[in-house]
Structure 1
Amino acid sequence: MDSAAAALDRLATIASSAPVARLAAAFEQAGHELALVGGPVRDAFLSRTALDLDLTTDARPDRILEIVTPISSARWDVGRAFGTIGALVAGEKVEITTYRSDAYEPESRKPEVRFGDTLEEDLVRRDFTVNAMALRVPGRVLVDPTGGIDDLLARRLRTPQTPETSFSDDPLRMLRAARFAAQLGFSVEEDTRAAMERLAERLEIVSAERVREELSRLVLSGTPRPGLELLVGTGIADRILPELPALRLTVDLEHRHKDVYEHSLTVLEQSIELERERGHEPDLVLRLAALLHDVGKPATRRFERGGAVTFHHHDVVGAKLVRKRLRALRYDNDTIARVAELVELHQRFFGYTEGVWTDSAVRRYVRDAGDQLERLHILTRADVTTRNRRKAERLASAYDDLERRIGELAEQEQLEAVRPDLDGERIMAILGIRPGPDVGRAYRFLLELRLDEGPLGEDEATRRLLDWWGTQLPAPGRDG
């Protein structure tokens, strides 16, 4: 964290920027207050680049819209019910929100919006003190009624009011505590953490969609482990993602199996590192798959003679559990399918180290991964967390070899688009049949040939198809 003087210089730069300066002048002329609030102010003290321009005012939403219309090139009011108006000012997106406080009624799943009249009142009702600072504009007066600067210096998350009041007003703030702990590297103040444990059940009134969005932001942060550990440690994960704490298998000194929970967090961390090394943006599908790839282990754990521990078919069981949990969190169908597919595929590679795969096996690996092959590469490499250096090097070398062979076959055969040598139209023409189940059976036969032997060419594929057709029993509805 830089000095207060340096932070104030950065805030002054933001306040003098074209969009903020224009808004400040317009609101002052209209007789209303305006202040930069929350993230931009906090990030100025942390030497972080503010991604959003958030402002707050005593003006009500309709009045905000009247004031910003003459100085903006576009406006949106999808948040009007919550007091927020968005606009494009001097080429930048801004959001201006009426002073407010959100509160849940005991049985409500949505916050009740209450507009306020003073900046100080608005700040006191925010989630954490480090987000409860504002810079009045155009006067550039810093307002910090709850000790946010002190908490920034201490790298501490604390609620402006009592944690019970804050978390009862909006239980989602408990999830935000985990996200900010991850994003900012801050610790949660002891009373605040204790309240998270006591009030975890309060999250049950929050909609699954809001929980999902907060969880996704946490998983997509630079270092999600501290936030996830906070959720597990406070019992919150038991209510929103119970499969994660369930991975904390009982330590058994006799059988000496590894801690699957710690392993999963490490796989997530290593996936993020590989994601960056390979030049990818943060990938929610990959990260959810990394975090949840072993959730089938508790249900499939078996102790064998001689002390071995097995988890047979945990990949298949895990994929089913992932689909169920992500549906409950209201993730979209594509995300659910892709995460579950990666979970089901994550063990495929480990047979590669037991013997050299045939070209057919390599083709099937690529075919099954489809457009998720790069994700599967990262997940599989990240899944190696052994402390045995020789074993880790052997597995890394084996996967290097697999990727090399995939590259060679892809160059030779356009592997990423494996299809039979004959399409459905040609199959029907060659066999003299109409659309129906027989076309699908013939297509699958040719696809298996393609995977086993590589490209055959049209003439050879036709000969093999006719030979196969002659061995087939008539399908129902087809004359023999």
Structure 2
Amino acid sequence: MSIYKTALDEHIIFKQIAECADRLGVQAFVIGGFVRDLILGRPCKDIDIVCLGSGIALAEALAEALPDRPNVTVFKNFGTAMLRSGEWEVEFVGARRESYRSDSRKPIVENGTLEDDQNRRDFTINALAIGLNAKNYGQLLDPFGGVEDLRKKIIRTPLDPDITFSDDPLRMMRAIRFATQLGFDIEAETFSALARNKERLEIVSKERITDELNKIILAKKPSYGFKLLLHSELLQLIFPEMVELLGAANLEGKTHKDNFYHTLEVLENVAAVSDDLWLRWAAILHDIAKPATKRFDQKLGWTFHGHEDKGARMTPAIFARMRLPMNEKMKFVQKLVRLHLRPIALVKDTVTDSAIRRLIVEAGEALDGLMILCRADITTKNPNKAKRYLENFDKVERRMNEVEEFDKLRNFRPAVSGEEIMTTFGLTPSPMVGVIKESIKEAILEGVIPNEHAEVFAFMLEVGAKNGLKPIH
């Protein structure tokens, strides 16, 4: 008995697809990622079915046969259909032959054979198919040696890689994404073709490129993907600011570390403790402005003064260009970039409660992420130095927890709002409202007044009086 038949039999949905296909006289095959992951022993809930016949008819027949009677979404222009049943998402498509124009990655599609369909696949490990009809149920079809490439942990194109990548340049990003996610190598000729065809990425939308980049960033070992992007010369096109971090410098016997590889170490440290995409982006961008702020001082050596502030100013432009969300996600990353040096300044025994309060208030809900980033930023190879730095961060966190009203500070809101200031003094929105609000904030953070309404209101009246204002009632 085929091991693949046994594996398919573990999931009743494949028997149901097989029965529907035989009843309709349609040849059906499960193909691509599900087969790859089945062989690798990885979980996969997305099933792609290729049909020699109508995929739409097979999807509708399966929906009728399934107990939950799922809805079928039909894409008539593409001849495809999709349904969701329980944990499964199943997509049906007729076998296709594809040809490409030089100015588009969207193919001209014609009906084809299973061989045509396997030929158009991006990599050998994604061209694997298993028969689903009674006559070939569980039979593996592997025309390009995909199983052997899985065994060798190799990413390789089924056909000439120059043609594969030129036809659909997004496959270059996918090659690196699969290598990163699976921990595979990219076969030498396939890898060489990445650099030869890199300019073809210009016809791919920024959104699609960034989608693949985010999948690389979310991998278990994202630094591997960035190294592949760098050496394939794709990173230079999609993220030149990161490439500028590359290289150490030595002048008059004073050196600075290679900030590109330091950034990858920080990213790995974050990835080891968090799956948060935006925290990982903060790791990537935390030193992004070091090239722009690099200076050499004969006494101090290399300096990067203000790189955290400039990096925070660079963050929105990078997000906009890469079509990343310009919302609270960007603001979270921007805040971490701006604040990533702050906690290390708080390790002195003489640090005041007000300094601790200020950091808690400025970081707000991003505080936990900030402390993860700061710990990840310790990449020294000196174990004694690393131990000392980590103990310092422990000290900062203890001080934070000791500060009165820690939880309230993380969601800091002065007890008197801007609206109440305007109502009290009969003001319209103006700089004076901002002056009073800032005075109140400073007084609370310095511990001059508690953040209680009566005390804050009284203080507001004092500030108003000093600025020639009287309450209107």
Matched, 1:12 2:12: no
CA pair 84-308 structure 1, distance change in 2 beyond 3 A: farther
**Paired position in structure 2 for 1:97:** 93
What is the CA deviation profile of residues 348-390 of structure 1, one whole-angstrom value per residue up to 9, with x for unaligned ones?
A: 2221235543221112212211221221111111011111222
Using the aligned pairs only, state the percent identity: 35
CA pair 197-327 structure 1, distance change in 2 beyond 3 A: same
* 8 Å contact from structure 2 (residues 119, 127) kept in 1: yes
* 8 Å contact from structure 1 (residues 103, 170) kept in 2: no
**Paired position in structure 1 for 2:344:** 350
Provide the C-alpha distance between the structure 1 equivalents of 2:99 and 2:444, rounded to a whole number of angstroms.
Answer: 61
Shift of 1:115: 3.8
Q: Which runs of 5+ in 2 are unaligned?
A: none
* Greater Cα shift, 464-473 or 58-67: 58-67
Matched, 1:376 2:370: yes
* Greater Cα shift, 39-48 or 404-413: 404-413
Provide the C-alpha distance between the structure 1 equivalents of 2:140 and 2:43, rounded to a whole number of angstroms.
Answer: 19
Provide the C-alpha distance between the structure 2 equivalents of 1:197 and 1:372, rounded to a whole number of angstroms.
Answer: 39
Aligned partner letter, 2:295:
R
**Paired position in structure 1 for 2:379:** 385
Corresponding pairs, count:
463
**Paired position in structure 2 for 1:21:** 15
CA pair 322-462 structure 1, distance change in 2 beyond 3 A: closer
**Paired position in structure 2 for 1:75:** 71
5 Å-filtered alignment, 1:4-403, equals 9=3, 12-60=6-54, 62-71=56-65, 73-75=69-71, 77=73, 81-89=77-85, 92-101=88-97, 104-108=100-104, 110-138=105-133, 139-252=137-250, 254-275=253-274, 282-306=275-299, 308-334=301-327, 335-354=329-348, 356-403=350-397
Shift of 1:269: 0.3
Aligned partner letter, 1:126:
R
Provide the C-alpha distance between the structure 2 equivalents of 1:294 and 1:401, rounded to a whole number of angstroms.
Answer: 24
Provide the C-alpha distance between the structure 1 equivalents of 2:212 and 2:286, rounded to a whole number of angstroms.
Answer: 21
Q: State TM-score, norm by structure 1.
A: 0.89
What is the CA deviation profile of residues 170-190 of structure 1, one whole-angstrom value per residue up to 9, with x for unaligned ones?
A: 111111111111111110111
Provide the C-alpha distance between the structure 1 equivalents of 2:3 and 2:317, rounded to a whole number of angstroms.
Answer: 50
CA pair 140-115 structure 1, distance change in 2 beyond 3 A: farther
CA pair 457-474 structure 1, distance change in 2 beyond 3 A: closer
* Greater Cα shift, 244-253 or 194-203: 244-253
CA pair 400-101 structure 1, distance change in 2 beyond 3 A: farther
Provide the C-alpha distance between the structure 2 equivalents of 1:469 and 1:178, rounded to a whole number of angstroms.
Answer: 61
* 8 Å contact from structure 2 (residues 119, 158) kept in 1: yes
* 8 Å contact from structure 2 (residues 8, 138) kept in 1: no
RMSD: 2.5
* 8 Å contact from structure 1 (residues 19, 90) kept in 2: no
Q: State TM-score, norm by structure 2.
A: 0.90
Q: Secondary structure at the match of 2:50?
A: strand
Shift of 1:147: 0.7
Shift of 1:229: 0.5
Aligned partner letter, 2:318:
R
Q: Secondary structure at the match of 2:267?
A: helix
Shift of 1:91: 5.3
